[in-house]
Structure formats: structure tokens, C-alpha cells
Structure 1
């Protein structure tokens, strides 16, 4: 018996997934795991941004702008929807505001973005200077091998320090902005994020995903946690996740795209 084909879904504008630091498309490894492919199967036009894994906010904003301009030409449209994870949200905000790109962005959705910084970055900068410089040198070298054009690990770390500044002062008025967070409840729920989670909990009182607190994730229209389950900063992009949680994460992205379509984006 033949399966009934599912109706193809779409948004008015293409979707661009913007990754944060560390995780980027490298050969067979994908920054957003199988999420891009899952959304494409549903009918959405989806792209993953080609930005440096350890590039500064300014550098990555320029790269993001260049990539989006190519997408606009390819899709014969004038705007895109940005779904940005972690530092990718900061890159996107800078591009929209400082590079005068608001007219080409219909919506900006940030996931676990450190709008008020991360305690981990602040703690790392308290290490001995010689150790920081050596570590930054090797990180830059490795990521240059992996394709980064202008890696600058030290500058990135400084840009991710904790800040008390009202991040909504930088919310673009002509772009629909919304945000989501995740909360990692127990170390055993993500072994990789267990140590950062311990440090994050000691540094601040807010619930955290291991790297970014819920409070720091709030920007524009805050929608709460992406998934009603214990989930880490990296798991929301499908990294080192169980099959059961992976299905819920894909469902979240699908629902997110449906909501953008309902808004007319």
C-alpha cells in the first residue's frame, strides 16, 4: 500500500541557520546535525551559514552578510529568516544593526544566545595570561586548518564576557525578534557539558544550559525553553543527543518554522 505523500511546508522567506562557536560545518560534520536535512524534507528552503568557528562578532557578521546576499540572489527574494544558535545570534544582531542589513531580514530567532554574556568566558579570562595566549594560539591554528579565514579565539572570549547591559536596546525595530533557551538539569543528562554546568551554577543563580543562563538568553519576545526537558547548550543543535530527544528537537524546529509562516515570514 502506497504512503500518502505529506503536504510540503514552506515559509515566505528562506531560512538561514546560523551556528555559534566551535560547531561548524566541517566535511561530514554538520553544525546543526540533521536538522537542516529534516527541514528540507518537509519542504522548507534551508541554508546553514558559512562563518568561522572562532571568528569575532564583526568578522562573522561580514561573512554572514556575504552569504545571505548570495542566497537572496539564488532564491530571487529580498529577505531571509535567521535562526541563530549561541554566538550566532550576536553575529546576526551585529550584521542587522551595524552593517545596515535590517531590510533583508524578516525575522531573527536566537537559541541559547549569550545576549548578556557567559560566565565560562569570564572565568577563562581570569586564567594566567600566558596560558590564555597559548590556548588561543592553538585554537586559532586548529580552526584555520578546519577552514576558518580569520580565527581570533581571544577576542571571541572577550566578547562573550558577562555583561549587565540591556540587550534589548540592540533589538532591531524593523525585524521580528524572538528568543528561546534550554536548561540542563543534571550533569548526567550531558556528560560533555557536565563540567561547564558545574562552573556555571557556581557563577550565577539562574538556570543554565551549561554555558548560557536562561536570563542571558532572553531577547526580543522570549518564548521560554525550546523543549520541555533537560537539554544542554549543544544538544539543541543535535550534538551528542539521544534518539528520543533528537525527535523532540526536530519537532521544535519544525514548529518554529510553522510559526514563522503563520506570522507571514
Structure 2
């Protein structure tokens, strides 16, 4: 059955790994062009990979205004935000700002750590060799302590209490999980999150994508685990980076078509 395109603009919000591209790949690898070819209007804001949620949310607001040229217009367009990783937290913070020049109809989060990720404290629990490997991973992914610190279970407990879902906005979520081979970049973090536990923050642990536990990624209407063999990067089309180490070459484009179809039907009320 063919997917339906949304009438309103799709905003792809990136996570804390980078901005528009990294290592020669666009962040949402081929997704924007694919959705555009299907009749969607799509924008991809760029925010700091090193900033806090508050900082990134403010940047996201300004970027949306710039990309849609809203400061010189009286129009107040309706938007659907589809967000990967930390981008989902930026979006949840964004909709609590007053005076937005646009209406957010829906927020769909993809592998977002709504209940936090324990990976920031991972290196403290490891031996020397594993610790060095983990610290290299964290330095590549974060570049700054702000982003990682804002995604700890402790911080997210306070964040969730303060920034509840906004009435009138539809919230959806999806995620993936996988079991990497020993040479995969997420092997250590996957094992740590899967085998760890916390009586205070149980949702931060368990089956995961190498960065975020499945239960931590559930927010609003949970649409499911879209793959059992796809990592945190694979779900945005970066599977080629780890395909030889237990990460599938996941068809991320098809998933984003489905996510757009979901908001077109459930939020915009479009028929089959």
C-alpha cells in the first residue's frame, strides 16, 4: 500500500552527533530528498551538537523561522516535527516557548532518550582498555559535556516533570534495537545498557540500540520497535558504517515515509 504525503511542512530535527552532515553522509541520509520527491515540503534545521537542550531548542526555533522566512510574514504555518535522538528533547522543549511563529501539530521522536541514557557514566564502570575505547566514542559523539549531561536519567527525570506534553500536539515515538558484534562501535555501550539496572531509573536500561534503551524511547503513542538489528545510527540510514559488525543496512527512507504517512492520517485526517 503506498504511503500518503503530509500537506504540512515536515521538520527533520537532528540529534547530538552533528549538524547537517558527518563523515560525508547527510544526517538524515537521503531522507529529505526522498520525502521531497514524494510531494512533501521538508526543512532540516541545524543546531549545535555541543549545546544543552535549552540552547538547542532556542536555536531550533530561530532556524525554523529563518528557513520558512517567518519574520517577514504574517503567516503561521502548521508543522510536523520528526526528530532523532536528542532532537526529540529539543522539540519537546521548543513547544513550551511562548510566541512561536508557527503551530506544531505533532512531534514524532526516533530513538530519543526520554527517560535518559546511562552512557554518560559508562566509562566509570569499565576496565582501562574498554574505558579508553568508550571515552573515544563519547568524545566523537558529544564534543561537549552539556549534551550528554542533559540526557542522563537524573536530568531527564526533572525535565519530564517540568515539560509535560502540550495539549493539542500529538506525540508519537519509535525506536530500534540490535545485538552488535564485538568490533562494532556500540558493542560496549550496548552491553552496558542491556545488562545494567537501576531501581530508580529502570527505563534507562534493557534492550537498546547502542545508545538508548527501548523503554526510554517510548513517548506518547509508541509505534513500535521498527527493527531488531539496527543501531542508533542505522535508523537514520547510516547502517553502511557498521554493516560488517552486526548493524543492518536498514531502509531508513521507508521508515520516514511511514512516519509521514502516520501524521498525515492521524493528525491531518487524510484518507487512504
TM-score range, shorter chain: 0.7 to 0.9
Does 2:175 align with 1:181?
yes
SS in 2 for 1:97: coil
Equivalent residue number for residue 157 of structure 1 = 148
* Residue aligning to 1:233: 232
**Distance in 2 between the 1:51 and 1:121 partners?**
21
Q: Find the counterpart in structure 1 of residue 201 from structure 2.
A: none
- Give the structure 2 partner of residue 248 of structure 1: 251
Aligned residue pair count: 241
Which SS does the other structure have where 2:95 is aligned? helix
1:65 aligned to which of 61, 70, 89 = 61
Alpha-carbon distance change, 193 to 159 in structure 1, aligned in 2, over 3 angstroms: same
Q: Cα–Cα, structure 1 residues 181 and 64, in superposed 2: closer, same or farther, change >3 Å?
A: same
Contact 1:182 1:208 in 2 (8 A): yes
SS state at 1:173 partner: coil
- In the TM superposition, 1:91-102 aligns within 5 A as 91-99=90-98, 101=100
State which of 23, 26, 30 in structure 2 corresponds to 1:30.
26
Give the distance between the partners of 1:96 and 1:19, measured in 2 at CA.
16
Distance in 2 of aligned mates of 1:82 and 1:70: 16
Secondary structure, counterpart of 1:54 in structure 2: coil
Structure 1 unaligned blocks of 5 or more: 1-6, 144-150
- Please say if residues 55 and 152 of structure 1, whose CA atoms lie closer than 8 Å, have aligned partners that are also in contact: no
Taking a change above 3 Å as real, the CA distance of residues 220 and 200 of structure 1, as seen in their structure-2 partners, is same
> For structure 2, which runs of at least 5 residues remain unmatched after alignment?
198-204
> Aligned equivalents of 1:23 and 1:236: distance in 2?
15
Deviation larger for 206-215 or 117-126: 117-126
Per the TM alignment, residue 100 of structure 1 is displaced from its structure 2 partner at its CA by 5.7
Question: Over the residues paired in the alignment, what is the CA RMSD in angstroms?
Answer: 3.5
Partner of 1:194: 187
* SS of residue paired to 1:171: coil
Distance 2:37 2:10 in 1: 14
Between the aligned partners of 1:209 and 1:165, the Cα distance in structure 2 is 21
Normalization by structure 2: what TM-score? 0.76
Give the TM-score taking structure 1 as reference length. Answer: 0.78
Report how far residue 29 of structure 1 moved: 3.2
